[in-house]
Amino acid sequence: MSALLAIDDLVVDYRLRRRSRFRALKGVSLSVGPGECVGLVGESGSGKSTLGKAVLGLATVTSGQIMFDGQDVTHLRGAARRRLANDIQVVFQDPYGSLDPTMTVGEILAEPLVVAGVTQAKAVVAEMLDRVRLAADSVHRYPSEFSGGQRQRVAIARALVRRPRLIVCDEPVSALDLTTQATILDLFIDLQRETGVSYLFVSHDLGVVRRVCHRVSVMYQGEIVESGATGPVTREPVHPYTRRLLLASPVADPVRQAERRNTWLGLREPA
Ligand SMILES: Nc1ncnc2c1ncn2[C@@H]1O[C@H](COP(=O)(O)OP(=O)(O)OP(=O)(O)O)[C@@H](O)[C@H]1O
Ligand SMILES: [Mg+2]
């Protein structure tokens, strides 16, 4: 299977004050096939969002390459980058921050279509609301009038209106309670089956990744330390850091949780 997204040896430096820089990605390689969900897990600050931003053209790449559907998109700017937005969309953790509170859901969903000159905007908006299982009359309501889970459905619908081939999902369920998380993750899975869209799925939670991803890469301090099929990596991780991550994800049983915590404390920081 040829990759839809192929990232090769990607380095991203953030410029800090006084000419110093911080290397957030240190040569990351990763691929996402058509219709595939690839997870990116790692603790806070490991560089997950930076990789997502680089794919979206929101972080400047120092070296390495990002190929999308056979095209080098590493340094695309201006009109070419805007055209790529039809193919690559994003869903963030916080739909409050990413949805304009002064616009109705109908306006939010229609906006990219109107900009693109689509004439059947109303019909597409209705189709997308249906896809994300929101009532048709949601078009008249404002983001603040929805629950967190429903707002995330709006954000997903907005990502879908341009019929993208890849969606970068950056912690899309992290702000939701566990039950709502499960229904939104199921929605991601259903949408992938229905549309064939690919996901680069960023999460700090191995449990979340296990539910939706086919493959997973584990990031640690700007590098991928382990990758493979989701089952083996999340059940029997090889790298000590992944094992720590696995043990750090909470379980419901307090006795098992205490055991896991002791095991976790017994594992030393990877060098
Ligand atoms: N604009 C920026 N300027 C300077 N440093 C940055 C910038 N954005 C991120 N960083 C740094 O780069 C590193 C990686 O950040 P990134 O946001 O990619 O982490 P993350 O894995 O997404 O973390 P989290 O799970 O908390 O979202 C962090 O050390 C962060 O402080
Ligand atoms: Mg992040």
Query: In this structure, is residue 270 part of a structural domain?
Result: no
pLDDT, position 271: 45
Q: Which ligand lies nearest to the CA atom of residue 58 in the structure?
A: 1
With 60 as the cut, is the pLDDT of residue 268 above it?
Answer: no
Same domain flag for 14 and 127: no
Q: Which helix (H) or strand (E) holds 111?
A: helix 105-115
Of all atoms in ligand 1, which is nearest to the CA of residue 204? Answer: 25
Same domain flag for 102 and 74: no
**Which residues, in sequence order, are CB contacts of 94 under 8 Å at separation 6+?**
175
- Residue whose CB lies within 8 A of the most ligand 1 atoms, among 28, 41, 44, 51, for a mutation test: 44
Cα 139 to its chain centre, rounded Å, is 25
**Which residues, in sequence order, are CB contacts of 209 under 8 Å at separation 6+?**
39, 41, 201, 203, 216, 230, 234
Number of domains making up the chain: 2
What are the tens digits of pLDDT across the range 253-265?
566 666 666 666 6
With 80 as the cut, is the pLDDT of residue 129 above it?
Answer: yes
With 60 as the cut, is the pLDDT of residue 193 above it?
Answer: yes
pLDDT, position 235: 87
Query: In this structure, is residue 207 part of a structural domain?
Result: yes
Same domain flag for 196 and 176: yes
**Does the C-beta of 245 come closer than 6 Å to ligand 1?**
no
Mean pLDDT of 4-20: 94
| Average per-residue pLDDT for the chain | 90
- Residue whose CB lies within 8 A of the most ligand 1 atoms, among 13, 17, 48, 60, for a mutation test: 48
Mean pLDDT of 210-221: 95
CA distance 157 to 89: 11
Same domain flag for 83 and 8: yes
CA distance 203 to 205: 5
What is the sign, positive or negative, of the torsion defined by CA atoms of 69, 215, 37, 177?
Answer: negative
DSSP class per residue in 114-148: HHTT-TTHHHHHHHHHHHTT--GGGGGS-GGGS-H
Same domain flag for 178 and 70: yes
pLDDT, position 269: 52
Same domain flag for 96 and 81: no
50 CA to centre of ligand 1 in angstroms: 6
Q: Which of 126, 148, 163 is the last residue of a domain?
A: 163
Q: Which whole-number Å values give the CA distances from 34 to 56, 75, 134, 145, 155, in the listed order?
A: 17, 22, 26, 35, 22
Query: In this structure, is residue 144 part of a structural domain?
Result: yes
Query: In this structure, is residue 245 part of a structural domain?
Result: no
Same domain flag for 219 and 206: yes
Helix (H/G/I), strand (E/B), else coil: 158 = helix
158 CA to centre of ligand 2 in angstroms: 21
Mean pLDDT of 25-34: 98
Same domain flag for 174 and 100: no
Query: In this structure, is residue 176 part of a structural domain?
Result: yes
Least confident of 86-100, 133-147, 195-209: 86-100
28 CA to centre of ligand 2 in angstroms: 16
Helix (H/G/I), strand (E/B), else coil: 164 = coil
List the domain range (segments joined by +) for residue 96. Answer: 92-163
**Which of the four pLDDT bands, split at 50, 70 and 90, describes residue 233?**
very high
**Does the C-beta of 47 come closer than 6 Å to ligand 1?**
yes
70 CA to centre of ligand 2 in angstroms: 27
Same domain flag for 179 and 79: yes
Radius of gyration of the chain (CA): 19
What are the tens digits of pLDDT across the range 40-99?
999 999 999 999 999 999 999 999 999 999 999 999 999 999 999 999 999 998 877 789
Same domain flag for 20 and 131: no
120 CA to centre of ligand 2 in angstroms: 35
Query: In this structure, is residue 56 part of a structural domain?
Result: yes
Query: In this structure, is residue 243 part of a structural domain?
Result: no
CA distance 255 to 129: 43
**Does the C-beta of 48 come closer than 6 Å to ligand 1?**
yes
State the pTM of this model. Answer: 0.91
Same domain flag for 19 and 133: no
Q: Give the residue, by CA position, lying nearest to ligand 1 atom 16.
A: 47
**Does the C-beta of 60 come closer than 6 Å to ligand 1?**
no
pLDDT, position 115: 85
CA distance 155 to 147: 12
Largest Cα separation within the chain, whole Å, is 61
| Phi, psi values for residue 167, rounded to 5° | -120, 125
Closest alpha carbon to 203 in 66, 55, 94, 93? 93
**Does the C-beta of 44 come closer than 6 Å to ligand 1?**
yes
**Which of the four pLDDT bands, split at 50, 70 and 90, describes residue 217?**
very high
Query: In this structure, is residue 221 part of a structural domain?
Result: yes
Q: Give the residue, by CA position, lying nearest to ligand 1 atom 1.
A: 14
With contact defined as beta carbons under 8 Å apart, do 42 and 219 qualify? yes
More confident residue, 116 or 42: 42
Give the CATH number of the domain where residue 83 resides. 3.40.50.300
Same domain flag for 170 and 79: yes
Q: Which of 195, 213, 229 is the last residue of a domain?
A: 229
